[in-house]
Structure 1
Amino acid sequence: MSPSDPDVTPTPPRDRRAAPPQRGVVPLPVDASAPAPPLGPDSLVRYSGEAPMGGWRRGVYTVTRGRMNPGPSPAQVARQQMIQAIRRPLPGVRRVAVASIKGGVGKTTVSACLGLALAENRGDRVVALDANPDAGTLADRLTGDTSVTVRDLLAGIEQATTIHDLDRFTSLAGRLRVLASEQDPAAGESFSRAEYEAVCRLVGRFANILITDSGTGLVHSAMEGTLALADSLVVVGSPTVDGANRASKTLDWLHGHGFAALAEQSVVVLSCDRWSRDVDRDLVRRHFESRTRAVVELPFDPHLAYGGRVHLGALRPETIDAVLLLGARIADGFDG
């Protein structure tokens, strides 16, 4: 048959235009010039939120294999915020002194906990120095190694030119480098301000944070150098009559000897391993809040009370939170 045959209906040419959209479907505009979205872990994986770490939230998350995520608890969120504060970028070297006019209030414990918290949650180098002239116990509490001391470092300080040279005089507690004090009290008395400053210069070349456990008293030569070079100060006391009074007298002494600004920007730690119901703890806290930048209460913890090696993982959750809060408050001062 020919195309002109009246019984044959010619096939209409195919309409090459886009078919009309289906009912209820709105076509999306296509921008051919727009770049393709990048492919990576953040774009390919659906993020369902941070997994809860404990409690009923963790139970729901585990039972449902992550399909139901109640999210982190307020306590977990607060802890993450403190860790982020601890990780604040640090412009240069910061020296943190831990001091008190009174012995036996927990300065070494606070120094150890603060050093561990900063070292384990930051990516830079943190050194804890025991500047106690009376055979300090900081290295005992952290590494148990006192075979090499600050006196050995001073003897070889001229030859210490690299981080590996510094490492020969320190021991490690996790990521924290620990520089032990001289264990012979007679030799320790000769640890002078000039020697302390020489140690600070060396440590400052290879580390970012130096925490100094200053020992008892405020008038020995090394303590003069500690306060003169300190960028941040932690004053340790306790919520007892004598512990609170001594911490307050420490602030008074600092104001009277040219360290008023350091005192006003200090952080007070109230070590609560000793306390009494007869002492108004709220009044003690308000007193130091009015005089300093922040107050942190370190609760009683059996792991700290027995006086042995300090491990963050062995602390109670509330103690870990207090230690992280202390680290965050110190890091808050890195900008100033």
Structure 2
Amino acid sequence: MSAGLPPAPASLPGEATVRPAVPESLLASLKSLPDQAPETPGAPEPAPSPAETPSLPDALTKSPAAAPDAAGTPAPQPTPESAPDAAPRSVLASFAPGPHDTPAPAEAPGVSGRTVDAPQPEDAVPAEFAAPLPPENPPPVPVPAPQALPVPPPPAPYTTHPAPPATANVPAVRPSAELAFPSPESVLTVDPRLAPAAGKPLHGDSVARRTGRSIRRITSSDAEEGARLLRDLQQPTGIGRLVAVTSIRGGVGKTTAAALVARSLQMHRRDPVLALEADAALGTLAVRLGAESVRWSCVELARILTPRMDLLDITGYLVPLPNGGWLLPASRGRVGPPLDVPTYRTVTLALRRHFAVTVADCETLPGEVARTAMDTAHARIVVAPMTLEGVGGTRVVLDWLAGLPKSALPSTVVALTSGAPDQNLDLSAAEAHLRETGVGVVHLPYDRHLAAGGPIQPELLAESTRRAAVRLAAEAVQRAVWAP
């Protein structure tokens, strides 16, 4: 196989194809050659294919073999001066620069044997799109001086619900919703014109009785009974329990008994206790519990209560008591609309779930609110005077309670109050007559401190009165928790 031109060397990735330089005299002699050698019959071997074309150095050093003539005599080899002007197209195509050929790379300055690619005209970036070169010494950029941030003005005070006067012992209302009516004003429970007329409160026991009690030693039976009463008074109630206090007639000590029960629960229990006044006929529960002023009543609170209100929201509308606990009066010491059954149901259902025990001072029987309270409460306290007619009328009320669809007698306690130091009625006989119905009976003895009226001060109560109040509260809680 005859030697031909070698194929072009493969270029490295990223480098352009480089072809060797050809002298112009050789190109002129190649152009004078015919386009294709004549085919002679009987030629010894065919013309070499483009793949077998001798390399460029061999073509330059060796003379190309001339095709033999018809007689087999080889033709004279042409000299460079008499070389034909034409050359085959296949040979010219291998030396002619193509559209994708690039000129030879220039040698990198300062580095021998290494070349760099010359920039291509078609790849050159137009001058209008070329990024300007940064200056060698850029001017310094001025840095602005730091400025102090503006101080926001203080927020304006909240004035939708104004706080009560400084003299009123009522906390500011926590706003939970916009009211559809004006916020009520605080009202003092005692007229300032009558305050100087109040005398010094008396102690429940006389001096002789207090002296004898200090000499007498406490027996073990009294200590055991006191410990049992405290256990019953402090037992957990689970859900909020409602204790309703009512009577068969007015003036028998109903509000006083309710205040004693509420005060005993507030002093001996750690969970919140609420005293609720459900008697709008100028009730005196706020005065007996020592509240200096009242603001919100049951009727007004029932209009803004929502299920989403928590204990903190609700206590903003209640009256905090001096010795602990909370109070919600039925009125603000003025004659107003009476408390109706829907309002009572709304208030008790919304508030009792936030308090362990709620003591409701209801109106006298047979009022509608009193009968509703006796029917829906967990425990009931019926206050009756320790007189012959008082015990007889209380027995009639107990027979009525026994006729209810759900008997209320197992959760009922009767409080017999003594309005005078000396009573003609036999206490044992009266208690036995009432216990026949299955209710509990607790006697509240006469107390000089309670008989004088005004705020109840626990430290001035007689010893027998304090023990009777704790026994009455413990009996009510016990029956409210364990009654069916």
Please state which band the TM-score falls in when normalised by the shorter chain: 0.7 to 0.9
Q: Find the aligned partners of 2:402 and 2:277 in 1 and give their Cα distance.
A: 25
Determine whether 1:199 maps to 2:347.
Answer: yes
Contact 1:153 / 1:169 at 8 angstroms: preserved in 2? yes
Residue 240 of structure 1 aligns with an amino acid whose one-letter code is T
- For 2:407, the equivalent position in structure 1 comes to 261
Q: For 2:407, what is the secondary structure of its paired residue?
A: helix
Q: Find the aligned partners of 1:138 and 1:259 in 2 and give their Cα distance.
A: 32
Q: Find the aligned partners of 2:446 and 2:238 in 1 and give their Cα distance.
A: 35
Give the Å deviation of 1:159: 8.5
- For 2:177, the equivalent position in structure 1 comes to none
Q: Find the aligned partners of 1:276 and 1:238 in 2 and give their Cα distance.
A: 13
Determine whether 1:241 maps to 2:404.
Answer: no
Q: 1:304 to 1:84 in 2, by over 3 A?
A: same
Q: For 1:261, what is the secondary structure of its paired residue?
A: coil
Q: How does 1:1-336 map to 2 (within 5 A)?
A: 55=214, 73-142=220-289, 143-158=291-306, 161-173=309-321, 174-183=323-332, 187-189=336-338, 191-220=339-368, 222-256=369-403, 258=404, 261-274=407-420, 277-333=423-479, 334-336=481-483
Across the aligned residues of Structure 1 and Structure 2, the Cα RMSD in angstroms comes to 2.4
The TM-score normalised by the length of structure 2 is 0.52
Q: Find the aligned partners of 1:289 and 1:115 in 2 and give their Cα distance.
A: 24
Residue 326 of structure 2 aligns with an amino acid whose one-letter code is R
> Highest CA radius of gyration, 1 or 2?
2
Residue 150 of structure 1 aligns with an amino acid whose one-letter code is C
Q: For 1:187, what is the secondary structure of its paired residue?
A: coil
Q: For 1:326, what is the secondary structure of its paired residue?
A: helix
Q: Which range is displaced more, 159-168 or 120-129? A: 159-168
Contact 2:240 / 2:354 at 8 angstroms: preserved in 1? no
Give the Å deviation of 1:236: 0.6
User: Which sections of structure 1, spanning at least 5 residues, go unmatched?
Assistant: 1-53, 59-70
Give the Å deviation of 1:110: 0.5
Contact 2:412 / 2:439 at 8 angstroms: preserved in 1? yes
Q: For 1:158, what is the secondary structure of its paired residue?
A: coil
Q: 1:277 to 1:122 in 2, by over 3 A?
A: closer
Give the Å deviation of 1:144: 3.6
The TM-score normalised by the length of structure 1 is 0.73
Contact 2:283 / 2:333 at 8 angstroms: preserved in 1? no
* Percentage of matched positions with identical amino acids: 26
Between Structure 1 and Structure 2, how many residues are aligned? 268
Q: Find the aligned partners of 1:209 and 1:177 in 2 and give their Cα distance.
A: 11
Residue 155 of structure 1 aligns with an amino acid whose one-letter code is R
- For CA contacts below 8 A with separation 6 or more, give which structure has more relative contact order: 1
Contact 1:96 / 1:234 at 8 angstroms: preserved in 2? yes
